[in-house]
Structure 1
């Protein structure tokens, strides 16, 4: 997944930060600030599951100073600089599609194969519908807060600030809501990193025959060096290429698999509905795109009609991609004589080029997801380190000598916070991923069953209920937040997933 998943959805920030026009900084860099947008590019924080925001059609962006002293992002077009247009539905759809396809697709077939194709397909569609309702609730809440903020500020500017999920929870539920969103998001970051590090080691072990633990550490360390040394610009360029390659490989694999007879339909796939509940967390993990909600609202300038259309269209494409992927993988599993991971079966097929493409796609899916999570999470810790050290002396002045020691010392003074923050993310993650068996499966269950379900399943209906209670008749008649039975329904469904995950995790206590 592309890490440019506009991190502004992080619970630790509410505004985007745009640097001065003379400094070409990627558009997803931002500040953990609760006030006006400020031009202070040194303090940034990025987040997402995918913690990502793909480049919209490879469009280029620049920073331009708007009225009232605020800096805003505008698109560079052929007509020249300074031309600013509203975001498009097509761009928003591309944003969702590019960030919804990631490493979750690798865990899905193995988890769902005991249930069978038919129950899996129906359950996947139901999870998509559940997440669609949750996303629509999030955008309604976000737009409501955007309009309220602009009204209170008496701001005539047509630019919309990005309001983070943490701020949404704090504004509607109070301080405890913001704290819950923050803690859940941090836990989500670590579980996601553990999953990606573990899976990368498994894939590289198959490709190179190196020990799995060593491969995972090396893979994670390479991206850590890229982010710490190369910075956001180099990481952005690498991630763009990886994301485009990943999506192209997925499309090619599915087309070739269907042409070579990988599609077996629903024949003999009645399945076992009793095996469905344990698969729900990984389905949530594979389908979530909800940290994009605040970004979409600002990108489409609070136009609820276009935002709703974008969410609907953008979420349908990944759903169909996952359904086809499941049909191919589980079709192979049904044809096998013994139970096996469907991804392993795809790697053993004799279709020309498909096994290599599956390996490459798997590694790219993990790599893009890892880049986004590692970059966003390290920026959060860097922000905390900067806050801690902001009042302390900056350190001794180094003599400007043209020698190796001077340049190394200068580089360290400039980048030590970034390096330390990256280590704070990587060290615990690789420690757990190399010591816990099947860490990828366990981490995806925890991320999907607890973190994502709490953040994007339980909180949205609670926030909508609280906001509707405060606003009363001021809420739009077409707003989904007014449908209290729907709020109760999706809230109970989300709580049910959490309870099911708890029962699964503590099943070892049963005799």
Structure 2
């Protein structure tokens, strides 16, 4: 018997829950609406495809010993060491797009839900500032607070999610899921990428699990599978409950046109105070937990970046750099929720957690592994190209509402 002691890292179950908690955020609220014009079955296909792509790149990163040993200064430095300095600064830019984009999405998404569902005595801008003060203030306490609250937040999200599905069950009609328009699916794939974003957690997984690649991959698989199931159940429930079109603000296309999270039209349609309250708790928990995790990570990232580039290591300056830009953008562009989710997924995530890991796998792989990496690069490249074309006005996604006429209720 070998005398070498086995690796005894963190339990797979615990790490799986961390993965699930990290990928549940604004993405799950945006998925049904952003995929809306495509219909349910193209949506399910697109979500599974994106899950498989993100799982593949997560496996690639989890197998890198440098991340487990903590020999790099974060993912940008890691990619710089593996793929060159150009890859490092590309990763820095992509990371900033992700961080600033998701914080802006959480601010605008939360504000949109509160303003559309409640008759508040204050204006929209004041609501944004109030939520910002609470969320950014909590993020100032660092990872210690997040670790202590993570289990409670995930439990609350699970309970409220199940409650929402149960309350929707009596209003579902499978006939609403009959329409399909695959041509609209590519436009929603960037938001699907945001719904499976947990890759910033991988360096932490590597360290906590002491470089045990098999255990890390099981944690990633189980955690992301749970997230996949929740996303599939949620979009199915929404598509079977909301009509595609409606004269009221209770349709999928109406929410799509007004950049609304799915809980807003559902609450209006059901007219249930209980559903509205539970939906609010679920949305606030999901977006606040994600805001805290990304806010803490962005502060650390900017602290290292300003120290390296400017020789400045000031926590107050770092806090201002981290949180003031999202606040300003949220106040100037309050209806930017779905737009910014597309940008984060189609550009930031696609580059940092799609193309760069796949390119690394291509360089390290042989035979079939190299072919698989090439396919991943191609698919992520197509998503990136489509999103860039949209941002520059080269493509326009305007659903033909007459097509849906016979589904109107």
Q: Which of 204, 207, 221 in structure 1 is aligned with 2:133?
A: 221
Q: Find out whether 1:444 has 2:355 as its counterpart.
A: no
Partner of residue 244, structure 1: 155
1:377 aligns with 2:260: no
Partners of 1:235 and 1:86 in 2: how far apart? 20
Q: How far apart in 2 are the matches of 1:178 and 1:169?
A: 5
Q: Say if 2:108 and 2:337, in contact at 8 Å, map to a contact too.
A: yes
Aligned partner (choices 27, 35, 57) of residue 104 of structure 1: 27
SS of the counterpart of 2:195? helix
Residues 1:420 and 2:317 aligned together: yes
1:208 and 1:461, CA in 2 relative to 1: closer, same or farther beyond 3 A?
A: same
Map residues 199-210 of structure 1 onto 2, 5 A cutoff.
Answer: 199-205=109-115, 206-209=117-120, 210=122
Distance 1:146 1:501, change over 3 A: closer
Shift of 1:326: 0.4
| Bigger RCO of structures 1 and 2 (CA < 8 A, at least 6 apart) | 2
- The whole-number CA distance in structure 2 between the counterparts of 1:283 and 1:244 is 23
Match for residue 191 of structure 1 among 101, 105, 111: 101
Equivalent residue in structure 2 for 1:486, among 364, 372, 382: 372
Structure 2 residue matching 1:507: 3-state secondary structure: coil
CA separation of 1:266/1:282 partners in 2, compared to 1, >3 Å: closer, same or farther? farther
Q: Deviations over 1:91-131 (max 9, x none)?
A: 22222112111111111121111111111011111111111
Distance 2:234 2:323 in 1: 31
- Is the CA contact (8 Å cut-off) linking 2:176 and 2:243 kept in structure 1? no
Structure 2 counterparts to residues 423-502 of structure 1, below 5 A: 423-468=320-365, 483-502=369-388
User: How far did 1:384 drift?
Assistant: 4.9
Does residue 280 (structure 1) correspond to residue 203 (structure 2)? The answer is no
Offset at 1:383? 4.1
Aligned to 1:37: none
Compute the displacement of 1:441 (Å).
1.3
> 1:243 Cα deviation (Å)?
4.0
Counting only pairs closer than 5 Å after superposition, residues 85-124 of structure 1 correspond to structure 2 as 85-124=8-47
The answer to whether the aligner puts 1:264 opposite 2:209 as a matched pair is no
Structure 1: distance between partners of 2:15 and 2:329:
36
Q: Check whether the contact 1:196–1:370 (CA below 8 A) recurs between aligned residues.
A: yes
CA distance in 1, matches of 2:211, 2:129: 43
Alignment partner, residue 65 of structure 1: none
Distance 1:454 1:137 in 2: 15
Q: Residues 249, 275 of structure 1: CA spacing in aligned structure 2 closer, same or farther, 3 A cutoff?
A: same
Query: Which shifted more, 371-380 or 121-130?
Result: 371-380
Distance 1:431 1:267, change over 3 A: closer
- 1:507 to partner: Cα distance: 2.5
CA distance in 1, matches of 2:395, 2:345: 22
Check whether the contact 2:9–2:212 (CA below 8 A) recurs between aligned residues: no
Change (3 A) 1:418 1:242: farther
Q: Distance in 2 between matches of 1:133 and 1:380?
A: 25
**Cα drift, residue 182 of structure 1:** 1.6
For 1:66, the equivalent position in structure 2 comes to none
8 Å CA contact 1:450–1:501 kept in 2: the answer is yes
Per-residue CA distance 1:191-231 (angstroms, 9 max, x = gap): 11211111122123233523222211221122223344x56
Whole-Å Cα distance in 2 between the matches of residues 190 and 361 of structure 1? 22
User: Structure 1 residues 388, 240: closer, same or farther in 2, change over 3 A?
Assistant: farther
Q: Work out whether residues 113 and 264 of structure 2, in 8 Å CA contact, stay in contact via their aligned partners in 1.
A: no
Q: Which runs of 5+ in 2 are unaligned?
A: 1-6, 256-261, 397-409
Residue pair 1:172, 1:466 contacting (<8 A) in 2 also: no
Distance in 2 between the 1:300 and 1:222 partners?
33
Shift of 1:450: 0.2
List aligned pairs for 1:276-315, cutoff 5 A.
Answer: 276-315=185-224
Q: Note the C-alpha offset of 1:233.
A: 3.9
| TM-score normalised by L of structure 1 | 0.67
Residues 41-98 of structure 1 deviation map (CA, whole Å, 9 limit, x = unaligned): xxxxxxxxxxxxxxxxxxxxxxxxxxxxxxxxxxxxxxxxxxx943222222222112
In the other structure, the counterpart of 1:358 is 279
Separation (CA, whole Å) in 2 of partners of 1:96 and 1:484: 27
Q: Is the partner of 2:173 in helix, strand or coil?
A: coil
> 1:486: Cα distance to partner?
0.8
Task: Please give the TM-score of this superposition, normalised by the length of structure 2.
Answer: 0.82
Aligned to 2:405: none
The 2-side partners of 1:96 and 1:170 are apart by 25
Higher helix share: 2
- Cα distance change of structure 1 residues 175 and 268 upon mapping to structure 2, 3 Å threshold: closer
Which residue of structure 2 aligns with residue 326 of structure 1? 235
- Checking the alignment, whether the CA contact within 8 Å between 2:91 and 2:352 is kept in structure 1 is yes
The answer to whether the Cα contact below 8 Å between 2:67 and 2:203 also exists between their aligned partners in 1 is no
